[in-house]
Amino acid sequence: MASSLHKTASLCVVQQMATVQVRKEEVGENKDLGSLFSKLNDKYGGKWVAILENGEVVADKKMEEVYNLATKRSSKIAALFQAPEKGEQLFL
């Protein structure tokens, strides 16, 4: 029963779109998505990184602090990711 309710709920969800223009002082001039995220990784490696709806980027080692920083800047988080540390190889 619970399962079918969830299924119905998921089909009712309105598709959402989030567009954010990251501030140039954060990411410089980029030609593609890879170079944009590379810039962010170079700057914020090893941290949780949030791109805010106002284009600002905030980062911290603790995810909770990233939410706090967004609140302090009165902006919502548009996207969140965990930047790998420089040279980090993953074997999850």
Partner 1 sequence: MTRLEFAIFEGHYSLPIHLLGPSGPISEPVLAFFDTGASKCGIPKEANKVFNLPVIDHDDNVRTAKDKVGYDVVRIPTVNLMKLDFKPPSTVQFLDTDLQEANVEAWLCTRYIIGMNLISKFDIELKRNGRIVITR
Binding site for partner 1 (CB under 8 A): 3, 5-7, 9-10, 12-24, 26-34, 36-38, 41, 50-51, 55, 62-64, 67, 76-82, 84, 89-92
73 DSSP 8-state letter: T
Shortest distance, CB of residue 21 to partner 1, whole angstroms? 5
**Structural contact between residues 68 and 75, judged by C-beta atoms closer than 8 angstroms:** no
Q: Which is nearer to partner 1, 50 or 59 (CB)?
A: 50
Question: At 39, which amino acid appears?
Answer: K
CB of 72 to partner 1, least distance (A): 16
- In a 13 Å sphere around the CA of 53, the CA atoms on its Cβ side amount to 10
